[in-house]
Structure formats: C-alpha cells, structure tokens
Structure 1
Amino acid sequence: MDLVALRQRLVSANIANAETPNYRTKDVDFASQMQSVLEGDQPKISEPAGLAAKSDGNNVSMEREMRLLSENAMRFQIASTLLKTEVRQIKTAIQEGKGA
C-alpha cells in the first residue's frame, strides 16, 4: 500500500506540474520496486526514459499520467480488498479462539 501511495503522490505532482518549465516527470517502476519494498528497501524515484520534452523542457505526458492514475486506482482497490480479507480472517480466528 505504501508503494501505491507513493506512486499516487508522484503522479499527482506530475499532473500539477504539467505546465512548469523544465519540470521532469518522476515515477517508480512499480513491478521492480515491489520486490525491493518486500525486501525492506526504499523505493527509488526516477525519471522515466523516452518521454518527449516540450519546448519549455517539461516532459509530462498527461495521457501517460491519466493511464497511471487509473492503473494505480486498480492496484489500490486490489490491495485494500486483500487487506480487508486478511483483517477479517484474523478477526475470525480471534473470535473462534475465545469460544474454545
């Protein structure tokens, strides 16, 4: 969930700075960083390669950011559903333990 929240902040910052001269897009490579986070490492924020810069040096692509926003919303929904399921299982285990 922390990685999803970080990406959400980065995408929001990219959108907010879409008209800021010389602003460079920031992101995390979600797939590769997920393994790093599971191992206890901090995610690395980087500038995605291959983004075309406008004449003012800004390389934010609103289409890309909107796609990432949508993907991130799906990841958050999945993560929160899994977390709810886990909490429900723990709650059930505790309640069954009280009856024994």
Structure 2
Amino acid sequence: MSLFSRTFMMLEQGLDYASLREKVIANNIANVDTPNYKAKEVRFRAELDRALQPLEAKRTNPKHLPFTRPMTNKFLVTSRTNVVYNHNGNNVDIDQEMSYLAENQIYYNALVEQLNGKFTTLKTVIKGGK
C-alpha cells in the first residue's frame, strides 16, 4: 500500500518538467547574443507519452493489438532550427523567451499549490480532522 496517491507522482513529474523548462529558457536568455546559438525547447510530447504509459486497454481477443507506449525516461530537449532572428545566426527571441518564462512560472506555482493542498489534506487526516 502506498502512502501517497498517484497524484503526488504526477505532480512531481510536472514539477520536474517545469524545472527543466525553466533551465532551458534561462539558458536561451543567457545566450541571446551568442553567435550561431540555436534556442532550445522542452517538448511536451515526451512527458505526455510517459504519463500515458500505465494506460492499457482491455484486450477481449488475443489477436487485438496491445495498447502500450514505449517508456521515455527523459524529457525531450530539442533545438529550434527553423528560424533565424539575428544576422549572427542566433534565433533567440528575447520577448518570446520572457513570455515562456512567465508562463512556466505560473504553471510551476499552480503545481506547487496543488501539492501543498494535498499535503494539507494529509495533515488534516493525520490529526483526525482537527
């Protein structure tokens, strides 16, 4: 029996994703003037595949195909190579990166609030509702 529900694991993975995204965005901002630097981004698809991994369809016939996905252990970090903004080959758009940073901060704060709520609920249960 697990002390924590699956919700804690999903919130932890969400926080890991937000933390990695924060690092990638900060790296992009730090390299805004670096010649030939290509902005990087964290792909959500890798996280979505990992979240759907435990999902399995009921097979009523042995000939049915299994409904499983390959397990991915890491988030996918890729370079944006389709656009060049500066004459020096750099494709970091500082305004866009700052927007991504604000969006990620809101996402991270929402996850922390959810996690705090779960811990508050556990604390209330442990204290017997007092």
1:77 aligned onto 2:109: yes
The counterpart of 1:41, out of the listed 73, 88, 105, is 73
1:34 maps to amino acid: E
User: Using the alignment, how far apart are the partners of 1:72 and 1:48 within structure 2?
Assistant: 18
Unmatched runs of 5 consecutive residues or more in structure 1: none
Identity score, percent: 29
CA radius of gyration, larger in: 2
CA RMSD of aligned residues (A): 2.1
Equivalent residues, number: 97
Larger helix share, 1 or 2 = 1
1:89 aligned onto 2:121: yes
Unmatched runs of 5 consecutive residues or more in structure 2: 1-14, 54-71
CA deviation string 1:39-81 (max 9, x = no partner): 4631010023543342211110111101101100110111010
Q: In structure 2, the residue corresponding to 1:28 is in which secondary structure?
A: strand
Q: Give the alignment's TM-score, normalised by structure 2.
A: 0.66
User: Using the alignment, how far apart are the partners of 1:16 and 1:41 within structure 2?
Assistant: 27
Q: Give the alignment's TM-score, normalised by structure 1.
A: 0.84
